[in-house]
Structure formats: C-alpha cells, structure tokens
Amino acid sequence: MKLDSIVVVGGGTSGWMTASTLVRAYPDKKITVIESKDVPTIGVGESTVGGIRKWAQYVGLRDETFFAKTDATIKMSIKFNDFYKKDSGGFHYPFGFPMKDRERNPFADWHLKKYFYPKTPVEDLVRCLFPASALFETDKYSENLNGEFDNFNPNDDIAYHFDAAKFGLYLRDEYCVPKGVKHIVGTVVSITQDEDGITGLVTDSGETLVADLYVDCTGFKSLLLGGALEEPFTPYSDLLPNNRAWAAQIPHKNPDAEVQGFTNCTAIENGWCWNTPLFSRIGAGYVYSDKFVDPETAKEEFKQYLMSDKIVVPRTREEVDSFKYNDVPFKVGMYERTFVKNVVAIGLSAAFIEPLESNALYSVHEFLFYLIDTLSRGEISQWDRDMYNTSTKKTFDGFAKFVALHYALSHRDDTPYWKALLNKNYVDKQGNSYFPSVDKVDYFWDMNYRYMHAWYHPEGQGGNTYIATGLRLDMITEYRFLNIQKQQGRDIRKENSEIVASWEDRKNKWAKNALEAPTLRQYLQGKFYTKEQDV
C-alpha cells in the first residue's frame, strides 16, 4: 500500500491534531480534512497530561501563540479528593520527576518515613519530593529561572487546560490550513470499498474523495472503522464502571482563587466530578454509571456538588439551575484493531477509557506518534499494521488498568455504587489479576523496595505509586521492615531521619520562594493575556 494522499474524516480536536501531526511529519503529502458543520464536538475533556507538551513541541506550537486563543492555563498536577473514603481528603499526582537523595529511590525513603512516623499524611509524599507542590498547593507559579524550585522544569513538567473546541479551531485555521492542509466542509453520505479497504467517500455535495489512507476521527460513531469495515469493538465495562457524564461550563466568580494549577477530581455518590480551570471559566462535569443512578438524579447530585465546599467557590441554587448541562453517554473500550486495511482510527473512533486522568487526548497524541513511525517507511504492509495495533493496544490497555486502579484501591462503601466497586472481582476466570504489573502487593514491593538503598531506579516512580500511596496502600509493614533491616544490616532509621531532615529544609525553602512568586492567574495575565481578555 503506497502512501501519497491522506483523508482525515472528522474535525474536532482529534481530527485537527491528526492533521497537524501528519503535515508536520509529511509536508509533501496531500492531506485533506473533511469536517461536517452539523456534528458537534463532544467537549467532555479540556484537560491534558504531560505528553501533550512533547506533542506540542514536535509540531512546533508555542504557548505564546495559542494560550489566549484557546482560554488555556497551566496544569502541574491532578488532585484526587475523597476517592479513598467519603470526606477522606485529597492527594496530588504531579508531573515531572521527584527530587533524589543520595541517588536512592525517593519513594522507598518516603515510605520508610511513613513507617517510622505513622501519622505522616499521604499528601506529604508529593510535598517532600516535588518542589512544584509549593506552587500548585498555593495557586502560585514560577518559571524557575534561578532554580528556586530545584528540579522543577516548566518546559517538561506541565500540561494544559484549554477549551478543546477552540484548540481544534486554532489548529485548523492557524496551523494546518496555512501549511497546505485542504479543508472541506461537508458530510460523508456514502462509502465505497473493496477487498483492500475503502475506495472512496461520497460527500453531500456529490464530490468523491479518494486517498491512499483514510483516518477516522468521527468520534464514537466510528464511521469508517466500526461502521464501513465493521471492526469488532471490545468493551472494557468489566474493568471500568462509568458510562455517562454531565458536563457544564461555569463562569468564574473569583478568578484569582479559581485559576488553579491542577485538575480537581472529587468522588461523590455514583462517580466523580472534574473541575478544570480555564482562564475565563471553569469546565466541570460528573462522570457516573447509569447502572446505579438515572441521569436526572445524577444531574441533581452534580448540582449539589457545585453548591458544596468541595469546590473553591460554591455556587447558589439559582446559579446552578441557570447553567447549561450536556449529558454525554460514552462507550468504554477499544476496537480489536485500530489500523485495518487502509483505515486507521484516532481518538474516540478508536478507543476511550473515561475522563479520569485526562486520558482522551493522551490516546490521541500517543497513537499519532505510533502512526507517523509506522508511515515513515513510505509504504504499508500487514506487518506494519500489526505492529501499530500491538503498540496502541498495549498503551490503551495499560492506561485503562491504571485508571481502574483508582477504583480498585478505594475503600468507599457509602453508596451501592461504591460498595459494588469495593467488592468487585479484579481477577479473571483463569485466576489472573487484571493488574499483572500493578498487583496490590507484589508490584509495589518489587518496584519500590528491591532498590531501596541502591541507585535510583527510574521504574520506581510513576502514576501507580502516587495513586497507591494516596489511597493508603502502606508499602512497608513491620514484617517487611524487619526483613529489609535484616537484609541491609545497617541503621536504616538513622539514615532515614537524616533524609527527612533534609526534606524539611527544602520544603521550607520551596514554601518561602512560593510566597514571592505571582499567583498562577497573575503569571498567565502578564505572560499571555491582555486586560481586554480578562473576563
């Protein structure tokens, strides 16, 4: 299969991110995007994770050029509230890498601290190891030009909050079209195909679009992959509990307090609510399961959350009743193959987990990196497709299990929804854990303590560690400590106390420096926004 022309079917964020990536990688190929004016964007997620910076840097986007046009803000962390138990408080999952001491695994040393000082709160893990915690816990920001926050790297250790619809339009009008991507406004009304795949797309204007490769970005409809090619869909509903979301756009009441450097996720009766701070408003939503609550009751639960002290500035009943709410059903899972014949699906057309951990756009840019690698040979064989499908499947499966871990480690039992998750079986019929690399005991023991006094081991850090710690999975018990002490043959308590003392010194330094930093909103205002855009 040769590759001289590509048609992307569907616009939105995924469609225009796809076109941006392809025109950056292959500027000499003929790239066309057909976008229907009648199809609204889903608009569930407006939050990203750290990989978006890698993608933005690859295509050549600069913060200065798109922030003000997409209502963007800076994100340094994700906060999870009440996932352990009702009213149990919150913990952060920050971006970037932790500070190290004596080249040891810092997570191991922190869990030793927790063992020696059991009253240490779980929030202390991030406060000890991440200088940015002094910023995002106080709604401050610094470019760290003089190293006031040690290893915090604003070039790599942040992500974005932005208006996804505006971001797609920005990529279309100010990146893709100027670089030669052809934009067609129209709707595909029929599809022709043969044994090798799709042979043409007929639009509502009567035009037939023909290409070597077709990229399906038509959302959950999956017009090409799931529709025309009838590729089977594999649901993940046995692993992940939710299937609907209420979404709303909420005006700021106190922008200085509400523009925070993290996405806030709060567990409530039948799921969890997100709070995504944009520069001019808040994107909020409630992800839930309609197996446990009907949509109208869920909407009222969402409103109660918006009126509670779980958000920075609670809204009144009159205010929450005035907001426009969008109910979005979604299917959780992935097509068995996402590259079939001459069709590859990107975004919701290929796979979706749920909004937790801001993973929707993560799948988009990671699948796109796999795609441009696959297309780099100039022609496509079945081996190329198979390798692409293997890579995307592995990435999706790993992230889905990571998201499921947030529920698996919860001890909430205050509603039938949470009781069902508390008693859910996470072992398949063959007796294998759904988390072969994230076992509650063996994984964390192996990753964090085998190397506890060896050189720092990069596999000892990662999202699993933050979530497990935040959900009170104590990784050192007395039995394990005695084994560690016996194996090491050294005074671990004394060594740990010295490390803890150094942590206190640097936490004090970070806190002092944060006092002198501008608020995140002040920084954004001065860097990217004009007074006229301040709403």
The set of catalytic residues is 75
* Distance from C-alpha of 160 to C-alpha of 48, rounded to nearest angstrom: 6
Buried/exposed code over 116-125 (b: 16+ C-beta within 10 A; e: otherwise): eeeebebbbb
Evaluate whether 107 touches 126 at the Cβ level (below 8 Å).
no
- CB atoms closer than 10 angstroms to residue 475: 22
Quick one: the chain helix, strand, coil %, rounded to 5?
40, 20, 40
Cα separation of the two ends of the chain: 52
- Collapsing DSSP to helix, strand or coil, 108 comes out as helix
Distance set, CA 138 to CA 2, 48, 141, 420, 440 (Å): 54, 21, 9, 36, 32
- Alpha helix (H) residue ranges in 409-519: 416-422, 442-449, 463-470, 478-488, 492-516
Q: What is the DSSP letter of 223?
A: I
Phi and psi (nearest 5°) for 230? 55, 40
- CB atoms closer than 10 angstroms to residue 311: 18
Among 351, 340, 353, residue whose Cα is nearest residue 388? 340
- CB atoms closer than 10 angstroms to residue 200: 15
Measured CA angle at 341 (ends 337, 344), to 5 deg = 55
- Collapsing DSSP to helix, strand or coil, 429 comes out as coil
Tokens of 477: 């018990």
Ramachandran class of 25: left when φ > 0, alpha when ψ lies in -120 to 50, beta otherwise: alpha
Distance of alpha carbon 293 from the chain centroid: 25
Q: What is the DSSP letter of 244?
A: E
* Distance from C-alpha of 136 to C-alpha of 95, rounded to nearest angstrom: 11
